[in-house]
Structure 1
Amino acid sequence: MQQDNKLLYYINKWSNVTKEDEATIISAFEPVSIQKKKDLLVSGQVCDYLYFITKGCLRSFYIDAKGIEHVYQIRMDNNWIGDIDSYFTRQKSKYNIEALENSYLLRIPVDRLEQLFIEIPNLERYFRILFQKAYINALNRLSSTMWDTAIDRYNEMLKENPEIFQRVPLVHIASYLGITPESLSRIRRHK
């Protein structure tokens, strides 16, 4: 499936757009590729684009005052990545986004996305649903880190996305789960 077709497939899952609208949407996105271990965004920059990952794997993370990395997001094929706060407010990002694999993306600047919302109301509906789901997922993740055990968080990740363990270094998975790499190794040994 071509990059453009993947994006349209996922848009049409939650909102129907016409063939004419599809052509307008595709013309608004720019295809880009990024090599493994390269940065898509660096802390202190404004996030100028929202990215749809057609193939690949990326992580967003921040570095605390002690120099420790904390993984905020791990996104793979057919998902979106970016710093939404920076993207819409035009403020500097606190996050870095790094490719964990050679990755292929479609990107769109905020002004063009806003224009598309006016031109194609069903696209705005798609993004409303997308942002609602993202907000609920963020709340669930926060709740999980407060109430669930590390084993429960690991099991949920394994259930939801088993291929992540073949594509993402365990140190990043441990950080995302809020545990040490050693704790993750112990959990995996007892499975």
Structure 2
Amino acid sequence: MYSFYCTFGNMNLILQNISKHISLTPEEELLFLSKTETKKVKAKTILQNAGHVCKEGYFVNSGLLRSFNINDNIVEHVMSFACEGWWISDMYSLLSQKPGNLFIEVLEDAEVVVLTKENQDQLYLEIPKLERFFRILIENSLVANQERLMDNLSLTAEERFEKFCRKYPTLIQKVPQKQIASYIGVTPEFFSKMKARMLKK
């Protein structure tokens, strides 16, 4: 399913991500990296199961992941995608340490940096400014989720798809159409007809 290996030479991307919001000393960077683990994961691997407590978050070095929920009618609802340079987790479960309702799946072979909740909490004590970094991530996630909720209430399906294309321009050819349809809240059949109409314009 996945293999573990540890290499600091492959961690520049996550350090660049952190440096957008806070500055770490070289010693702090090494301490942060020592609390993480790098995994190579194969496509179709499930990293997080609904109904389980989420104990780790993932930073994507390469590849593609998604989070999704399955409702009582066995219908999937895609909540988010994460490509290179993005973080992904079941935020509710990770923060509350209660069972979550999201699956996290690897869509294409990926390399992820894993940070456990336990190590994240330890880093807050040893490098307090990291708490600010993760607060910013959580705030950005909250803003994005509220924006998406408002989009679902106020935008047409075509407008939501156009927004998806702007937000995830590299994913249009990578992600199955049924998953894009799920993300923007329409059925695969409606999505196919909508795309056909848009191409005729």
TM score, norm. by length of structure 2 = 0.91
Matched, 1:183 2:190: yes
Matched, 1:124 2:131: yes
Which residue is equivalent to 1:64?
71
The 1:187–1:3 alpha-carbon spacing in structure 2 relative to 1, beyond 3 Å, is farther
Which residue is equivalent to 2:40?
33
Q: 2:164 aligns with which of 157, 160, 174?
A: 157
Where in structure 2 are the equivalents of 1:1-191 lying within 5 Å?
A: 2-189=9-196, 190-191=198-199
RMSD: 1.4
* Runs of 5+ unmatched residues, structure 2: 1-7
How far residue 62 of structure 1 moved from its aligned partner, in angstroms, is 1.1
* Runs of 5+ unmatched residues, structure 1: none
Q: C-alpha separation between the residues in 2 aligned to 1:178 and 1:65?
A: 16
Corresponding pairs, count:
191
Runs of 4+ in structure 1 displaced over 6 angstroms?
none
Cα pair 1:57 1:100 within 8 Å, conserved: yes
**Equivalent position amino acid for 2:49 in 1:** V
Deviations 1:105-164 (A, max 9, x none): 011111210111121122111111111111100000000001111111111111122111
- % identical aligned pairs: 33
Structure 1 or 2: larger helix share? 1
